[in-house]
Amino acid sequence: MDQAAHDFDLPESAFTIDHVSFATLVQALSCGVVITHPTRPDNPIVFVNRAFCRISGYTAAEVIGRDCNFLQGPETDLAVVAEIRASLNAGQSIRRSLLNYRKDGETFWNDLIIDPVRNAAGKVIGFIGIQNDVTELRRAELARNELDTRLSDILENVKGYVLSRIMKPDGAMKYNYISKSFFKLIGVPEAGNTDPDFLRFVAPVDRKRVADAVRKSAHDLKPLSIEARLQAPGQPEHWVRSWSNVRRESNGDTVWDGFGIEITAEKRTEAQLAYLTYHDPLTNLPNRARLEAAIEHAVHESTHNATPFALYFADISAFHEANETLGAETGDLIIRETAVRLQHIAGPGAFVARIGGDEFAVLVSGIARPDTANRVAAAICRGLAEPILLDGRQPVSPFEAMLPGQDSYKIEVCVGIADFPFSSADMPAAAFSDPVSEYIKRCDVALYEAKRLGRGRYCQYSQEIDHKLRNRMVLRQSLHHAVVAHEFVLYYQPIVDLRSGAIIGAEALVRWNHPTLGLQAPDRFIPFAEDSGLIVPLGAWVLETAMRQMNQWQAAYGLARMAVNVSAKQISEPGFLETVARLLRETGTPAAAIDLELTEGTLIDFSPEMRERMDALRDLGLGISIDDFGTGYSSLKYLSAIPVNKIKIDRSFVRLMMNGESDASIIKAVILLGQTLNLEIVAEGIETPEQQRFLIAQGCRLGQGYLFSKPVPAEAFGALLAKAPPLSASHGIPPSPLLQHSEDC
């Protein structure tokens, strides 16, 4: 028998149990056993089994005769120790869990059961303690409790809830369980609402739909997923999305266990996105998508009920420039105010939409006559042209010269009109698979034409306008091929000495000999060439061709100068100076024989870089002229600062100078200005001898126009040179050598 058994040395009269069989039994136990002797001081240990030694780390010899306090440590709960001692003193049984310490200092949770041992007389002769190491179980319990606490916190604070829903065989439904967070979500106290009727807090608008979905889930025994609104009395509405699995109990009950989450913010975002799908956020007007739906409805009504209507597209002229100059805030103010005014002008029965950055649409029913449609368009142009107040801010207007300090802003719009049903001259709507798209396209065509006519203009769709636009599109698309295929040709118009009639120069004017559309004037394709960048190779070809032709005519007829039009885009190209210098070398043309003509609009963006390039051109020996003088943005400051040696009076002033004092005064002023600045003056568009005489009287030496010749091909111009009077001819006014047979281009 081992030491532990020998140490258990109680009097034979006290214990009648056979020691050998007892020790063998106790040593076989997996739980720790400790026996103390209460009749000795400090209730010392008199026996421990091997399991106690394994749990505590002590040997039997180390603990026999000692008080059990050696198992305690700093973290032992002294209150529990006091409870144990009180029970021992009272001779009572007790069970407690206590944090104890092993020999190596490691803590362990001890599930301790202590019972008193009594003799036949009932006297306590010892205590037996059963110990179990429940450290892992305690840790698991703590972890579970922590998890339960966290889960409870989550369920109470999450924007959602956990539920168990039940439906009785008779169809009655209620919540079997619902988490506290549900009541927090809908804004009612849990007290008094712990067993709510299933549909009690479902918003009335969704109540039937939800009930039907639940019954269908019960019938099919398929999971239930549903979105609905919850709302308690006096509380805001909350959107929730719930999902629950379904099962059928043996008693016939149908049970759903699941969860729900709040999706109010998501639904709000969906609603906002749905709104923005069909509305403009800046003006709150319908957008293009909504307009298309409105047109579709209007077409249907017109087709079935003979209700005519008209569509208007209104575009704010140069709005991008205004937005860049004044800033986005002022630009937004202009757009919003335009929207408000347009709704007022169109009236309550009209449909008004914003369909682009600076473009609006108006759909008006009952417009059956073109003149009525035009009156509405005129009212739009007139009403939107009223100055817009800018809340005291000082604008810099790109539309008109505005004095500093003005707090208003004036815009101009162009309006395109298309009516429905289409006029008899046009293809009827039924002929198109998509009349809505065709209708929008026609209004776009009309707006494009109105913008081409100028600010403040309106235009009604017609097949003629459509045909012209299609032709322009054909020109734009085939322009690149035309440059490669050499489809361009130069025409020439003489510049004459007004007194002698002698031809002293020519202006080269490019034409496009289109293979299907015929001869095209430059105003039909030059804008496309500038937009696409093809103006660079085209301009180089024009320069080279004009230089070579100049050489021939100078040698044969003594022609003095050749004028060639160039654009600001050409001059601003990095390689333009090198191209001009190369062409002068290759053709052998004297630089002094070439005048480069710039439109007056070039001066809008007259920068230091542009000045350097123009100085470089003058340094090459070329002349520089300002074409169409008086129609653009010139100022005396620019005119005196740039290296110009010639200005050309625009034909519009020449045409009207005999009819009004103002135009005649302008011409006199321009001629005087040229003389003052030592600039040569050329008058354009001379058509009558009276105009010629007036210009001579004012001191204008040079001119060009139909009085002398239209622009003609090179062969015809050569014939004109052969017949022209020599430079030394009389200073009288000769008869016009106008070639009546030349083609009007």
Comparing CA positions, the residue from 173, 178, 237 lying closest to residue 210 is: 173
Chain-centroid distance of CA 23 in Å reads: 88
Sign of the alpha-carbon torsion through 443, 444, 447, 449: negative
Q: Look at residue 398 and tell me whether its pLDDT is greater than 80.
A: no
Higher-pLDDT residue of 325 and 587 is 587
- Residue 360: which of 447, 277, 274 has the closest Cα? 447
Q: Does 148-268 match 279-461 in CATH topology? A: no
pLDDT the model gives residue 545? 96
Mean predicted confidence (pLDDT) in 543-569: 93
3-state SS, one letter per residue, for 435-477: HHHHHHHHHHHHHHHHHHHCCCCEEECCHHHHHHHHHHHHHHH
Residue 661 has pLDDT above 60, yes or no: yes
* 237, 238, 242, 248: CA torsion to nearest 10: -40
**Torsional sign, CA 87, 88, 94, 96:** positive
Q: What angle do CA 282, 285, 289 make, to 5 degrees?
A: 105
Q: Which residue has the higher pLDDT, 637 or 136?
A: 136
Confidence bin at 7 (pLDDT 50/70/90): very low
Task: Give the model confidence (pLDDT) of 443-471 as tens digits.
Answer: 999 999 999 888 899 999 988 888 888 87
Reply yes or no: is the peptide bond before residue 574 cis, omega within 30 of 0: no
Please report, for the chain, the start and end positions of each structural domain, with discontinuous segments joined by +: 3-133, 148-268, 279-461, 485-723
Q: Which helix (H) or strand (E) holds 195?
A: none
Whether 494 contacts 484, CB under 8 Å = no
Regarding beta strands 712-713 and 94-101, do their DSSP bridges make them parallel or antiparallel, or are they unpaired? unpaired
Residue 716 has pLDDT above 90, yes or no: yes
Give pLDDT tens digits for 253-294.
999 999 999 999 999 999 888 888 899 999 999 999 999 999
Task: Supply the mean pLDDT for the chain.
Answer: 84
What is 148-268's CATH topology? Beta-Lactamase (3.30.450)
Q: Which of 612, 678, 666, 668 is nearest to 639 (CA)?
A: 678
- pLDDT above 80: residue 245: yes
Q: How confident is the model at residue 489 (pLDDT cuts 50, 70, 90)?
A: very high
Judged against a pLDDT cut of 70, whether residue 238 lies above it is answered with yes
Contact (CB, 8 A) for 87 and 114: yes
pLDDT of 337 higher than 50: yes
SS3 at position 556: helix
Evaluate if pTM is beyond 0.75: no
- What is the tens place of the pLDDT at every residue in 193-211? 666 676 888 999 999 999 9
pLDDT at 739: 37
Q: Do 475 and 439 form a contact (C-beta atoms < 8 A)?
A: no
Indicate the range of 293-302, 363-372, 681-690, 714-723 predicted with least confidence.
363-372
pLDDT for the residue 724: 72
Q: What share of the chain is helix, strand, coil (3-state, %, to 5)?
A: 45, 25, 35
- For 30-67, the pLDDT digits (tens) are 899 999 988 777 789 999 999 999 999 999 999 999 98
Binned at pLDDT 50, 70 and 90, residue 660 comes out as: low
- Taking residues 636-643, what's their average pLDDT? 67
Residue 394 has pLDDT above 60, yes or no: no
Mean pLDDT of 545-571: 92
Residue 276 burial by Cβ neighbours in a 10 Å radius (0-12, 13-18, 19+): exposed
Model pLDDT for residues 403-432, shown as the tens digit of each residue:
344 567 888 899 999 987 754 345 555 467
| Strand (E) or helix (H) holding 540 | helix 535-557
Q: In the CATH hierarchy, which fold is given to the domain comprising 279-461? A: Alpha-Beta Plaits (3.30.70)
Closest CA to 428 of 520, 307, 303, 549: 303
Q: Look at the alpha carbons of 395, 399, 400, 401 in this order and tell me if their dihedral is positive or negative.
A: positive
User: Which two tokens mark 237?
Assistant: 């509405």
Range in 230-239, 290-299, 460-469 the model is least confident about: 460-469
Maximal C-alpha separation, the chain: 170
The CA distance from 227 to 210, in Å, is 8
**Neighbouring-strand partners of residue 739:** none
N-term to C-term CA, the chain: 135
Considering the segment(s) 3-133 as one domain, its CATH architecture is 2-Layer Sandwich (3.30)
Residue type at 556 in one-letter notation:
A
CA distance 717 to 710: 10
Instruction: Please report, to the nearest 10 degrees, the dihedral formed by the alpha carbons of residues 72, 78, 79, 81 taken in order.
Output: 30
Cα dihedral: 454, 458, 462, 468 (round 10): 10
Selected from 3.40.440.10, 3.20.20.120, 3.90.1150.10, 3.20.20.450, the CATH number assigned to the domain covering 485-723 reads 3.20.20.450
Mean pLDDT (whole number) for 302-307:
79
Task: Please give the Cα distance from 373 to 221 (Å, whole number).
Answer: 63
Give residue 376's pLDDT. 92
